[in-house]
Chains A and B, each alone.
Chain A
Amino acid sequence: MELYELGLHDLQDIINREEVTVQEIIESTFKRIRAVDDKVKAFITLDEENALKKATDLSHKDSRKGTIAGLPFALKDVFCTRGLRTTCASRMLENYVPIYDATAVSRLNAEQGILIGKTNMDEFAMGSSTELSAFFPTRNPWDLGRVPGGSSGGCAAAVAAGEVPVALGSDTGGSIRQPASFCGVVGFKPSYSRVSRWGVVAYTSSMDQAGVIARKVEDCALVMNIIAGHDPLDATSADVEVPDYTTFLTPEIRGMKIGYPTECFKQQVDAEVKNLILAALKKYEELGAIIEEVSLPQGEYALPAYYILGPAEASANLACYDGVRFGLRDYEADNVLDMYCNSRSAGFGDEVKRRIILGTHVLSSGYYENYYLKAMKVRRLIKNDFDQVFKNFDLIITPTTPTTAFKLGEELGDSLTLYGNDIFTVPANMAGLPAISIPCGFSDGLPVGMQIIGQAFDEGRVLKAAYAFEQNTTYHKQKPSLGGEQR
């Protein structure tokens, strides 16, 4: 097995056994990136020099004190990194170099993880295909003619292509789970407020949540142990005790009650995807879980409500990009209004503009009550639905997405179809629940993901169920060929 195929846990073992040095791991990481990233295009910025320097610093056993000492990770380019440009895949921030590290990043650094680079995404995390990056699209390692999903598509593609074992992504309506599903990797979105949002560039503050993309469930648990927990810099950050997530990683799930919402299969779901989910449920039954149908009747309103609340908050969150203090600015403008208009016109892509306009509209006087306020009420009803189900069930399983990865350009310019990708993932964000996507099979050679949703702050049980499935299946062991052949 090649070094690049190993997860965090395996790498840690061979470092400890001194079969390999940290330098060798980091060098091999960049070697792998050089070999495949021309095709995959997962990274916007690489931090090779710093990474190699850190690797040298960690060459001696005594210097390795952290829980992920010397292990490589990547970050979606939405996480602010001190001294390393943070673009959000936008022209607006093309040359923006923060003077601070996001809390999640500081915590990984404190545990001596080694940042490899910043990955591509849909601009400001708005999109489901990573085609909406202002710089270039990222490709799906399983089929370079297809999208990796989004908005954390760079993370998922990099992990799937063996460029890094783990990456931090952010998930507002499915932006970790959907690309994980498309790329055949594990994507974990913790409960809202579980991981600090401080230093994560905001899209929808009430739903944005940092999480992990990895090839293995155990690597998610390992990283969650580091990044989860209260942060005094984030007023919404939950002050709820963080358990050692690795203790949940046992394949024993007998008696676990899992519900699957009947409404899911009334939606336009690809037949093969549906079959694979049903097969997965059967597998859980074999493992001793109790599977029953449940109902989430308000689910169908989740998507429209999400596409009101998300843009509404975004319209305010993205107002700070005015060209005054940082970011792209039109220096030729004659007056301040022109400076605003020209800077924002040039700095934002079409989808970002679309959502700003949408968000501005739904908050406007005369529309607020019918759109924003109503969507907030829908949000409450969706949460009530979940509360009802979780009275009797431990977990809920759905497909992660209705289809497998689509072709590049296929859904561009068709916003509604694109938004439809989020139909199964959005409800967990609306209700602030932890949810994971894990590989559950292949359709026509493309990975299919299964979503497991848990109760708020019950991340452990979600990871446990995911781990049990993973240990009893082999889907996660399959690797994309990256032959370079486009279908």
Chain B
Amino acid sequence: MNEDYEVVIGLEVHAELKTNSKIFCSCSTAFGAEPNTQICPGCAGFPGMLPVLNHRVVEIAIMAGLALNCEIAEICRFDRKNYFYPDLPRAYQISQLDLPICQNGYLEIDIDGKKKRIGITRAHMEEDAGKLVHQGNITSTPFSLVDLNRSGMPLLEIVSEPDMRSAQEARAYMEKLRSILLFAGVSNCKMEEGSLRCDANVSVRPRGQKELGVRSEIKNLNSFRALEKAVEYEARRHIEAIEDGEKLIQETRTWDEEKQITLSMRSKEEAEDYRYFPDPNLPPIKIDHKWVEKIKATLTELPDQAQQRLMEEYGLPPYDAAILTLTPEFLAYFDNCLSHYHDAKTVSNWMMGELSKHLNQNNMEINDCKIQPEALARMLSLIDEGTISGKMAKSVFEEMFASGKEPDLIIKEKGMVQISDASTLLKVIDEIIGANPGVVEDYRNGKEKAFGFFVGQVMKATRGQANPAIVNKLLKDRLKGD
């Protein structure tokens, strides 16, 4: 990126709030049902129907606000946001304009070991719209189908201050926001299911300039990677335009995942006037201070506190602490492991290494993992006891991951016990030394690398079961020469 310019980013994030029923009716919020099976005349916008607020949504929104260090409004109100679209049954969305439930919050991100505070302007409750389903090609199909299952799902729109200065920061904010919402238990935050969605406002200005540059709002950012790439792309596009003397216009753009570019949707001039006004069907909500305190008391450990705990209690580096606290499930796994095993750093290494690698490769969540934390702890103990080597452990782990079997059983079944007996190992070592006089010569002439060759050969001959520490010691003795 051109160092003469500064990128300014603000994010608008929609998080679906975790409730059993919709925000203004009693329809189910379960994901993945057959189209239009979770609807009623209310969320389908039929004549004479009225919204009744699900108070659980308010409770969860307050919980989210507290987790994001927001002020909780004493009085908040719903407004109608008017626009026509076939997936919006009433042709207005019930949202909050000037009296949102949460305001003036922040969260902290970690960039290259430094903490940075990102402001949260506001968070407000609103209902989701349904969705259009296109059969076949969107441009050639003569009609679209409307699925209203999602209509009326409770959302929290969280608007950040324009405090981010790079795509990396934007991604870090989004990841941190996700983990906070997950820890607070307010949303499932599944980007692939659309329960966490993100729009990015991006502008660029010459470094040192106070006023903000012309801004683009980028929609359709359905993954952390898309967010990062889109912001990078857009910032570059702006800088190039400025350098080339082109005039940028304020517009809404969409991210084309396939081409990895942003495309214009509409300019500011074409932007709709939503004609917000207070929804007369919903009385203002009074939020009692005591209610807020009660909710506050139920808030459990949040990512920042958990990170602090991991660093102070276990002496883990900040990086490890950050990774382990990405989701409450991951942290719980770590904590469970540690109640059966003594060394936090070893657990952390395995979780960030093998475990994460396998989960990612299989597109799995920690909750889907067949290895119980106790089993992982047991496997680590087996290494410490010398029953298996670290290298063997990797294949044991693989088997555990695939089958969920206990490590002891796998070792037994495969006969994978570590060979630590010196006389057995010496037999192998002597054979290899005898067969490779040239390499022995090299080693003795100072070619240190040759040592690795012998270790490898021994491991190969013992199918990895040789105890590496003992092999090292024996090899060194033998190679010294008689």
Contacts and interface: CB of A to CB of B under 8 A. Distances in A.
Interface residues of B, number: 29
Interface string A82-107: 00001010000100101110100000
Contacts of B277: 312-313, 316, 363, 368, 372
Interface in B273-315: 273, 275-277, 280-283
Contacts of B46: 98, 100, 320, 325-326
A88 B89 CA distance: 19
Contact of B282 (A235, A324, A340): A235
Contact of A235 (B52, B82, B144, B273): B52
Interface stretch (A114-122, A158-166, A197-205): A197-205
Contacts of A312: 277
A322 B86 contact: yes
A320 B275 contact: no
A102 B41 CA distance: 12
B35 interface: no
Contacts of A363: 82, 275-277
B280 A235 contact: no
Contacts of A325: 44-46, 89, 146
Nearest to A339: B86
Interface of A: 79-80, 86, 88, 93, 96, 98-100, 102, 197-202, 204-206, 232-236, 312-313, 315-316, 319-320, 322, 324-326, 336, 340, 360, 363-365, 368, 372
A365 B275 CA distance: 7
20 contacts: A80-B48, A86-B48, A98-B46, A99-B41, A202-B48, A205-B281, A315-B82, A316-B80, A316-B90, A316-B92, A319-B90, A320-B90, A324-B86, A325-B44, A325-B146, A326-B46, A326-B47, A360-B275, A363-B275, A363-B277
Contacts of A360: 275
Given A235-B283, A313-B277, A365-B275, 18 more contacts: A86-B48, A98-B47, A100-B48, A197-B50, A199-B49, A234-B50, A235-B51, A312-B277, A313-B280, A315-B275, A316-B82, A316-B90, A320-B46, A320-B47, A325-B89, A360-B275, A363-B275, A364-B275
Interface in B194-218: none
B281 A236 contact: yes
A102 B46 CA distance: 12
B226 interface: no
A320 B53 contact: no
Interface string B69-86: 000000000001010101
Contact of A198 (B48, B89, B275): B48
Nearest to A193: B283
Nearest to A373: B277
Contact of A233 (B50, B86, B146): B50
Given A80-B48, A98-B46, A319-B82, A324 B146 contact: yes
A205 B278 CA distance: 11
B107 interface: no
A325 B147 CA distance: 11
Contacts of B52: 232-235
Contacts of A98: 41, 46-48
A320 B89 contact: yes
B319 to A, nearest CB: 48
Interface of B: 41, 44-53, 80, 82, 84, 86, 89-92, 144, 146, 273, 275-277, 280-283
A200 B48 contact: yes
- Binding site of B, secondary structure by majority: helix, strand, loop or mixed? loop
Name the residue among B41, B47, B276, B281 with the largest chain A CB count within 10 angstroms: B47
Contacts of A336: 86, 144
A199 B280 contact: no
Nearest to A78: B48
A373 to B, nearest CB: 9
Contact of A201 (B48, B80, B276, B282): B48
B24 to A, nearest CB: 9
Contacts of A315: 82, 275
A235 B44 contact: no
Contacts of A99: 41
Q: Which of B48, B49, B53, B146 has the most CB of A within 10 A?
A: B48
B48 A235 contact: no
A368 B300 CA distance: 44
A364 B273 contact: yes
Contacts of B80: 316
Nearest to B281: A205
A363 B80 CA distance: 11
B367 to A, nearest CB: 37
Nearest to A124: B47
Given A205-B280, A340-B84, A320 B45 contact: yes
A305 to B, nearest CB: 14
Contacts of A368: 275, 277
Contacts of B49: 198-199
B93 to A, nearest CB: 11
Contacts of B89: 320, 324-325
Contacts of A205: 280-281
Contacts of A102: 48
A313 to B, nearest CB: 6
A365 B274 CA distance: 8
Given A322-B86, A324-B146, A199 B48 contact: yes
Contacts of B280: 204-206, 236, 313
Nearest to B80: A316
Contacts of A364: 273, 275
Contacts of A88: 47
Nearest to A334: B142
Contacts of A202: 47-48
A223 B354 CA distance: 74
B283 A236 contact: yes
B21 to A, nearest CB: 14
Contacts of B45: 320, 325
